[in-house]
Each structure stands twice: as C-alpha cells, then as structure tokens.
Structure 1
C-alpha cells in the first residue's frame, strides 16, 4: 500500500510488483481488488483524493528520541491529519495501542488528529476506526 497514493496509482503499482517478481500476473486481479477496496472504502475515500498531501511510511522522531513509522498520514489544512495503519491477520489490541501512540506523537507536534484507522487486508478489507486517546 505504500506506493498507492490515489486510485489511479493501482495499475502502475501492480505493474511494478509483477515486473520485480513480488507478485505473479495470475494474482493481479486479486491484489487489484484488495487495493481498490481500500481506496474506495467509504470511510477512507477522502484519504485517497487527488491533491492531498500524504506521506506513506515516513519516519517521525518522537520527543524521547524513538522513531515511529505510520503507514499513511493524510494532511489537511490547519494542521489536521488522518492516520491509517495497514495490517494483515487478526485484529489485536496492540494494533489499536500503536495507532493511539502515533496520534499522541502527532498531537505533541501540534497536529490535530481528526481520524485514526486500522485497515486489515486479507480476503476482504476490514476498516476499523480507532478510539480516542487519553488527553494529557
């Protein structure tokens, strides 16, 4: 998902993955379906619009010197941001904690986190909104 910023990126990303051997041509439609399900999901649609400032897998240094790497950050005017983290497998509490930690770090940097999502990728795409973090 790191290379997909908008829906129009899907075909080129798949071409790259097929040419470098990451996926086989026979699996193209399966991967295309998953990617399309993410970028067109009603809860996420606004996160994949053209013209948005977004960063995928960008390192952020925390105030205590640790590095976090959220899967996707989508920035809006007035220092507002949406966090998206992609997962495979089953939902786990630690996934929620991880996203809440990202939100706390971004909040400490002066951003207003307006939404936080976990996106589980598998046979079907499951999008979970992550609850609010504790206010300091």
Structure 2
C-alpha cells in the first residue's frame, strides 16, 4: 500500500502527530478540520454558521491540495459541540458546500473545547488517464 501525505499552508497546521490528509488506495482521508484560521490559528467566528464556513473552507483547501473538491467527497464525519442546539445551523451551512448526491455523513456530539465543529472527509480520487 502506497501512502502519500498531503499538506497545504491554506489549512491549519496539525496540532499533533498526524497529517492534514493521506492519499491511499484511491481515496483521500482528511484529518478533522476545525474553524481555526490557517495563519493565526485563532478560532474564526462565534456562531455555528461562521465556524462551519471556516471548517469547510479548511477542508476545501486540504482537498484542493490533492486536486479534489467537494464533488469527490463520499463520506464526512461531523463533530458538534452542542448537537441539539447547533444541528440546524450547521446543516444549512454545510449544505451550501456539497451537492447531490450528497456524501454519506455521520454527525455526533463531541467535547471540542473552545470551538463548535470539526469535520473530516473521505474523497474518491479519480483514476488518471
């Protein structure tokens, strides 16, 4: 199995011993992207909508680093700090980034500290001709 690390300066630097993404066996697996600014590492926004936009922009940057976009995403996992309170706002914002057929998705409640959302994705890498 060949594993290729994928990195970009347009998304936050990993806070630990993990990669922004790994390409392997025809798929790109991303680390969870949070609402942190890629340069300042400050949390962007106070609302779930604002934080979802930043997390999705960070995720888009990681996908783009491997020539992909949200149309290649087949699965996302979403962690919400306050799922009962924030699900509707998150969902409406998330929907602006993805198109039908929508990726499969799991949404769970998680303790995230001082931010509200974290999103990771699995994207199918098209076969190169």
Q: Please tell me the TM-score bracket, short chain as reference.
A: 0.3 to 0.5
TM-score (norm 2): 0.32
The TM-score with structure 1 as length reference comes to 0.31
